Every structure is written in structure tokens, then in C-alpha cells.
Structure 1
């Protein structure tokens, strides 16, 4: 077998902006014919993703090591769909991944629509949607669903925790405000399977800083112990102790605080060191009871709600009349 040809620079440039993927049309335009592509695949340098779409990264997806691994996998799914369908528009969760929205499932099925709204038979790897006309935006030379229609398309297919996390992400990152979510609701009311998802909107909070925090808050809510405050800053004699994720007022001027951490969301040595500083500041006063949970536990099926509820019962917590906001100064 002849060795694979050297990859044309033009094709390498395409792959660099498309999560490592290229399609047959791009190969043809760069002068790489089907026989050269076949040799690359046979040699293990490339792999076939779906019809006429190829991955130029020789490492299997599951073995790749990168800080943005899950984001890469989601974006890769979106690109696979757009490259498989001429003029394909990324829609639903795939469009949300390209909009940098958090809270999506780890793996996405490539999902696209055609500009004319028509459907056709594709391989099982790509879903072609027949959506009515909807706003789009440009993304690296392609078209993707604008944020509002992408949310309306994606939410009915998500689980409750993921759906609330997605809504919280667009609020927290400032992509949309609460009033803009009314447009999403209106668009969803015309879609099949949206009834349950419409109940999630009141649960969304722009104060959730990660999907793990959303899961922790929902678990506490489901177990009858909604937080009295979120992202509250504690100071002692004017000195900053920490800004904490979830807070409950306790009798006697004390507080239970919950911190969600772990490499999934607080990654890197700098952030881990910062977590240690926050922990030391919080436990240095007898006014605060500190519970810390890894992101994986917050995201588990049971969640942290049962444990937090048991602790609060033992500490004689009762719901606060008003939510804690902003800064709390502790007395000595």
C-alpha cells in the first residue's frame, strides 16, 4: 500500500477550525481525492465519522486528553452534522454547544436542518430536522440556529437537571436576560413534548456558576431545604472570608454554607489553591458550618439534598423569611 499523501495546508486549516473534521467536498477542493482519503483511513491516520465526513485526529475520541474535552466532543458532534449535510444548519443542543452554553449532555447526536426545511434519508449518525423557518447566526463560515430558537429546539429533549442548567447558563453568562426567556417559552409552546420543559423556567437561576451548582440547588429544593442565599460573600471585621455557593441561616446567628468543588468545574492548580484559601477562611470562625461536596456527588442521581437536609434538621434550621443577598458581615 502506498503511504498516505501529505495533507494539503488548506485542509489542515479547515480541520483546525472544525474540531479536526473535514468533509469530502473540502478534500476535493484541496486536491485530495477519494483514493488518498482511503489510504489515510486504512493507515489509521484518519477515521470515518459519518458519510463523507472524516476525523483527521489519529487518536480515538475517548483517548484524547485536553482541558476542554467535553466541549470538544459536543462541538465535534455539531460539526459532523454541518459537514455531512450540504448547507446544513446546526440546531438544538448542537447549536447550543457552539453558543458555549453549559449543562448539555456529555455526548450529543449530530443534529442539523436544511435551509429549505426539507428532510432526506441520512445515515443513523446524523439527525436531520424539519423545522420551520427560524433565525440563524453565522459561525465560522456556517449557519447555526440563533440562541432563542436553539433553546426552544433543545429543551424538550433534555432531562430536568440539564434543562435547568442550560437555562441558568445563558442567564449567568449574560447571553439572555429573564425577559428574553419569554420568547423561548412562546416558541416552545408550538413544539411537541415541551409541556414538562415549560415547568423548568421558574427553577432557573443566573447565580448558578456551573451545572454542578444547579444540580446541588435542585437536589436541596427537592428535599425540602431550599437555600436561603446563593453566592453570598462573608466578611469578618471588614476582611473578606469567602464568597460561597449556597447558604442557610441557622439559629444563634450561625450559617451553614455549602461549597461545590472538584476538577470538573474548579480546575487547575490556581483554582484548587483558591479553594483551600476559602476553606481556611471559612473554618476559622465558629459562626459558619462548612460542607464541601465534589462536583461528581452533586451531579449524582441522589445528589447532596438528603445529606444537607439531615444536617439542617440537626441544626434546627427553619426557612428564612427573606433571601440572603450580597455581603454578610460576621460579628466577632
Structure 2
């Protein structure tokens, strides 16, 4: 019986770059014929995903875990669409955003591509073949054509909810993939699409200073609760040095700041990150200029929840207390 070591190393590396997926034509190019692929599938080593595409991982997607699980599943969806529809396929919408490195797209994103000239075709196996935007601009990413950020946002935002739509706009701006003027152009490109009418106010809510989708979600949570932060990425200094930067900030009486820090699991959970965060937090608190609160994603109000989450309650309560006890409110 042949083993996985018989698969050419180059093909293994190619699969790794494509989140474990391979197209039949790629396998053929490295001598792994349809007969060989069938045997690997029968042995449970590879899995057929759709016509012409196999997954080289033994573990089903729903059971995969690890520090980059969410990124892996999003990128896998984007690659699935590209490989299923051949070398001419163009990643569009949310899948284009994923391949461009934009954060904020849902983990269960639907694979979607279009063909040059918006050629017609049939969607299959949960992969959407879109027939729109003949004339859109594309750029190569990992050797494959991908809609440019302005077009990808124009395609994606009308099909997203507000929180994630603003999050992807924030991320694209923060990563310098798109300028403020280009974002306005993306908004213009989106006009006339189905679902765009409800999004017009969202485009002006974007802020490129947000460093993660969680920060965007927290900011919008506070905006909706009537306690919008006064500033983002608030820098705190003492007489001699820079002490740190806070994610969301509210001005307090006496020139102090109420700072909300958002701790994402991937960013803040490593030992080095925890030590750095602790040292920075101690410096900020020792300065006497900061009242610091730390929150995680579970503290942000979920969409459609009947009651506000812990973040809003804690910030509102602290602001009320500080303003009540400020010198201007005492007799």
C-alpha cells in the first residue's frame, strides 16, 4: 500500500498554501492521477469536496482546532471557490476580503467567485458563482485574481450585517488597503445593489484606528447605548515616557481617562502577551491618570440581545459615578 509520503513534496506544500485543498488539474501536474486520488479518498486520507477539488486533511472542517482555526476556515472557503471554477475564477465579495487579509468576515463565509466578463454558470455544492461587475478591477493575491478592496467592499457590505460590515471597513482602512477617499468610492460602487439602502449610514461609521473587529464591535455597542467613546487608541504619557495606549477612551473630570481594553483570545492569550499587558496595565494605573477596565468579546452586547452587555453597564456606571463626584457637582 502506498503512503502519504508518496505524494510529491511540492504538492504537499501547494496544498498547505491553499488551506489543504487541491484541484484535480494541480494533482495531475504532479503525477497524482485520478486513479491515485480515488485510492487516497477510499483510504480516508483525502476527501472529495466538489467536482475537481479534494481536501488533503483527515480532519473534517467542523472538528479542526488551533490558534488560526477561524482564519483557516475563512481562507479555505475562499480557496474552495477559486479551485472549483478553474484558473480564470476571480474571488469576489467577502472571499476577496479574506484573501486580501481583511478581518471581520464570519467564519462560515460562503465561497463565492465570478468568471471573467461575468460569464454565466451554475453554482454548486454551496459555492456561489456570482454574475456581476463586468469591468471590476482585480489584483493578484497568491497568484490568483481577486477583486480589489473597493470592489470587494462594494460587493460584500450590502450582504452583511452592520457590525461586521463596519468591522471589515475598519480593518481595510487600518491595514492601509483602502483610503478614506477609496472607501467613499466603494460606497458609490455599491449604490443600486440589492440590500444597499440599509447600509448608507454604516459607511460613515467606519474608523481606521480600530485594530481588531472586537474593538469595532465594542465601539458600536457603546455608540448604540449613547456612550460613544471620546477617542480611540488613547495615548497616555507621564513626564518622561510613553506608558501605553488604550483601545477606547472617555474623558473624566480632572484630565483623567476611563480606558476600555478589549482582549481578543488570539492576540492576548500567549504568555508573552499576558506579561506585556500586565506590565503596561501596571504602568497606566500607577500614573494616576487612568481608570482602566478590561473586557472580552463575551462582554459586548450580541446582535439582537434584549439587554446590554457588561461592557456598556460597566462604562455607563463608571462615567455616572465619576461625573457625580466631580468638583463641579459637589457643594
TM-score > 0.5, shorter chain as reference? yes
* Aligned equivalent of 1:107: 108
Preserved contact between residue 50 and residue 84 of structure 1 (Cα < 8 Å) = yes
* Aligned equivalent of 1:229: 231
CA-atom RMSD in angstroms? 1.9
CA distance in structure 2 between the aligned counterparts of 1:202 and 1:305, rounded to whole angstroms: 22
**Distance apart, 1:91 and its partner CA:** 0.6
**What is the TM-score normalised by the length of structure 1?**
0.89
SS of equivalent to 1:315? helix
* Aligned equivalent of 2:329: none
Preserved contact between residue 21 and residue 56 of structure 1 (Cα < 8 Å) = yes
C-alpha distance after superposition, 1:255-304 (max 9, x if no partner): 21111114233342222211101211122244422111013423744442
SS of equivalent to 1:19? coil
Preserved contact between residue 4 and residue 43 of structure 1 (Cα < 8 Å) = no
**Structure 1 range deviating more: 189-198 or 214-223:** 189-198
- Structure with greater helix share of residues: 2
CA distance in structure 2 between the aligned counterparts of 1:299 and 1:131, rounded to whole angstroms: 35
* Aligned equivalent of 1:123: 124
CA distance in structure 2 between the aligned counterparts of 1:51 and 1:311, rounded to whole angstroms: 57
**1:155-304 pair list within 5 angstroms:** 155-298=157-300, 300-301=302-303, 302-303=308-309, 304=311
**Distance apart, 1:67 and its partner CA:** 3.0
CA distance in structure 1 between the aligned counterparts of 2:195 and 2:104, rounded to whole angstroms: 20
SS of equivalent to 1:214? helix
CA distance in structure 1 between the aligned counterparts of 2:139 and 2:65, rounded to whole angstroms: 31
SS of equivalent to 1:276? helix
1:152 aligns with 2:162: no
Larger RCO, structures 1/2 (Cα 8 Å, 6+ apart): 1
Preserved contact between residue 90 and residue 145 of structure 1 (Cα < 8 Å) = yes
Instruction: Identify unmatched segments of 5+ residues in structure 1.
Output: 318-332
**Structure 1 range deviating more: 283-292 or 180-189:** 283-292
Preserved contact between residue 74 and residue 107 of structure 1 (Cα < 8 Å) = yes
Preserved contact between residue 82 and residue 112 of structure 1 (Cα < 8 Å) = yes
C-alpha distance after superposition, 1:196-221 (max 9, x if no partner): 22211111111111111111111111
**What is the TM-score normalised by the length of structure 2?**
0.89
* Aligned equivalent of 2:48: 48
Instruction: Identify unmatched segments of 5+ residues in structure 2.
Output: 325-331
Preserved contact between residue 220 and residue 309 of structure 1 (Cα < 8 Å) = no
**Distance apart, 1:139 and its partner CA:** 2.1
How many residue pairs get aligned? The number is 316
**Distance apart, 1:27 and its partner CA:** 2.1
CA distance in structure 1 between the aligned counterparts of 2:300 and 2:267, rounded to whole angstroms: 12
* Aligned equivalent of 1:312: 319
CA distance in structure 1 between the aligned counterparts of 2:222 and 2:143, rounded to whole angstroms: 44
C-alpha distance after superposition, 1:219-263 (max 9, x if no partner): 111111111111111122223322111111122333211111142
**Distance apart, 1:70 and its partner CA:** 1.4
Preserved contact between residue 149 and residue 172 of structure 2 (Cα < 8 Å) = no
* Aligned equivalent of 1:62: 62
**Cα 1:280/1:64, change in 2 over 3 Å:** same
* Aligned equivalent of 2:145: 143
